[in-house]
Amino acid sequence: MRGTIYVVSGPSGAGKTSILKEVLKKIPNLTFSVSYTTRPKRPGEIDGEDYFFVSKEKFVELVNSGEFLEWAEVHGNLYGTSKSFVESKIEKGINIILDIDVQGALSVMKKLPDAVTIFICPPSFKDLKKRLDNRGTEKEKDRERRLKDAKWELSHISDFQYLVVNRTLNESVKQLEAVIIAEQLRVDRIKDHMGLQDFFKESDNDVCDN
């Protein structure tokens, strides 16, 4: 059975990354899709784990070789989702979670209509501003751009399947976890991939044969 692709998106500063980190610890058979980026590494980030950090030249090379499922310029930096990375995981039956900006998520949805899409948004615009201030890594110009982009991004909530309003980390982790577990139980998904008959056989089940 092929793995499921979960696309998590939302404005910068909504708290996506913290939620994802906790969820990845809790759910077995779920892995994080490592993207390519040209943006500078932030303190604490690890190359090949948080992102593959590459130069603009290298990024353009990867674009030309068709390596990206989607790529986009966000806040002046390039971000790209590795097609080969994602495909190798789902072919092995591993579920994969993509953390991408709204623009990228919208193009992935068109290419991968089976993907499960989750929008994470802050409880208020005021809260979003505060989170960007607390991050402390933003220049004033970058901060203003992020807030402007957030307005456009929030207008696309209804293109997503699920909405998590990030009030507290614990609650949001529980909600994202619930979406991931529930989607694994969808009869449509099980049926599409291998048929219920096979599902029962695989789970050592003789219900359908009796």
Residue ranges for the known binding site for ATP are 10-17
CB of 201 to a copy of itself, least distance (A): 11
Q: Rank residues 54 and 190 by Cβ distance to a copy of itself and give the closer one.
A: 190
User: Does residue number 158 form part of the binding site for a copy of itself (CB under 8 A)?
Assistant: yes
The dihedral built from the CA positions of residue 18, 126, 106 and 193, taken in this order, carries a sign that is positive
CA dihedral 81, 82, 86, 87 (to 10 degrees): 130
- Beta-carbon contacts of 17 under 8 Å, excluding residues fewer than 6 positions away, are 99
User: Does residue number 56 form part of the binding site for a copy of itself (CB under 8 A)?
Assistant: no
Distance of alpha carbon 172 from alpha carbon 120, whole angstroms: 9
User: Which two tokens mark 114?
Assistant: 């089976």
Side chain identity at residue 159, one-letter code: D
CB of 90 to a copy of itself, least distance (A): 21
Binding site: residue ranges? 10-17
Which of 17, 45, 123, 169: binder of a copy of itself (CB under 8 A)? 123
User: Does residue number 169 form part of the binding site for a copy of itself (CB under 8 A)?
Assistant: no
Stretch that binds a copy of itself, among 1-9, 46-54, 104-112, 181-189 (CB under 8 A): 181-189
Which of 90, 132, 160, 166: binder of a copy of itself (CB under 8 A)? 160
Which of 183, 193, 194, 198: binder of a copy of itself (CB under 8 A)? 183
Stretch that binds a copy of itself, among 1-9, 37-45, 102-110, 171-179 (CB under 8 A): 171-179
Distance of alpha carbon 173 from alpha carbon 35, whole angstroms: 22
Q: Rank residues 41 and 151 by Cβ distance to a copy of itself and give the closer one.
A: 151
Distance of alpha carbon 66 from alpha carbon 136, whole angstroms: 35
Residues 3 and 114 sit within 8 Å (Cβ to Cβ): no
Q: What are phi and psi of 136, to 5 degrees?
A: 70, 0
Distance of alpha carbon 139 from alpha carbon 143, whole angstroms: 6
Q: Scanning residues 185 to 204, which ones bind a copy of itself (CB under 8 A)?
A: 185-188, 190-191, 196, 203-204
Q: Scanning residues 83 to 122, which ones bind a copy of itself (CB under 8 A)?
A: 119, 121-122
Distance of alpha carbon 172 from alpha carbon 185, whole angstroms: 20
What are the residues binding a copy of itself (CB under 8 A)?
119, 121-126, 128, 151, 154, 157-158, 160-165, 174-175, 177-179, 181-183, 185-188, 190-191, 196, 203-210
